[in-house]
Amino acid sequence: MQPIHVVGAGLAGSEAAWQIARAGVPVILHEMRPAVETFAHRTGDCAEMVCSNSFRSDDDQMNAVGQLHWEMRAADGLIMAMADRHRLPVGGALAVDRDAFPPP
Ligand SMILES: Cc1cc2nc3c(=O)[nH]c(=O)nc-3n(C[C@H](O)[C@H](O)[C@H](O)COP(=O)(O)OP(=O)(O)OC[C@H]3O[C@@H](n4cnc5c(N)ncnc54)[C@H](O)[C@@H]3O)c2cc1C
């Protein structure tokens, strides 16, 4: 089976590669950092959080972003699993410990 190539190991690319691999399809994840820097990222880590440590509202009843969180959890998503593991107690928002967050 030919592998699927995912370009960019940010949040979206890392999640896409995870879901492709879980479906049993070979995947190659390409990332240019740290060889090539961006103006926003600070490391060469996959799934690096940019800027704040908040994924915004986690309210899946009254907020569209919270509904997306719910859907990503229902899909057994990697990013949500890591966010929940490293969650900080800040009320209704989904804020994470950004140093611990990037999946290994
Ligand atoms: C200044 C700033 C502040 C932000 N603050 C927030 C915030 O507080 N909360 C929030 O939710 N969102 C914030 N965002 C948005 C944030 O960038 C997105 O939420 C998130 O990073 C998007 O993930 P992504 O995977 O789509 O893109 P990115 O995280 O940008 O990932 C794209 C990846 O592709 C790689 N790449 C690009 N081109 C190539 C190539 N040709 N070959 C190989 N690799 C490549 C990049 O290095 C990068 O790793 C902010 C963005 C910026 C710029």
The 10s digit of each residue's pLDDT in 17-73 is: 999 999 999 999 999 999 999 999 999 999 998 878 999 999 999 999 999 999 999
Asked whether the predicted pLDDT for residue 103 surpasses 80, the reply is no
Peptide bond into 103 cis (omega under 30): no
What's the gap between Cα 73 and its chain centre? 12
CA distances from residue 66 to 25, 29, 55, 82, 83 in whole angstroms, order as listed:
29, 27, 9, 16, 13
Helices assigned H by DSSP within 1-104: 11-22, 64-74, 78-85
Ligand 1 neighbourhood includes 7 CB (under 6 angstroms): yes
Which of 51, 65, 94, 101 most suits a substitution to test ligand 1, by most atoms within 8 Å of the C-beta? 51
Q: How far is the CA of 59 from the centre of ligand 1 (A)?
A: 23
pLDDT tens profile 11-25: 999 999 999 999 999
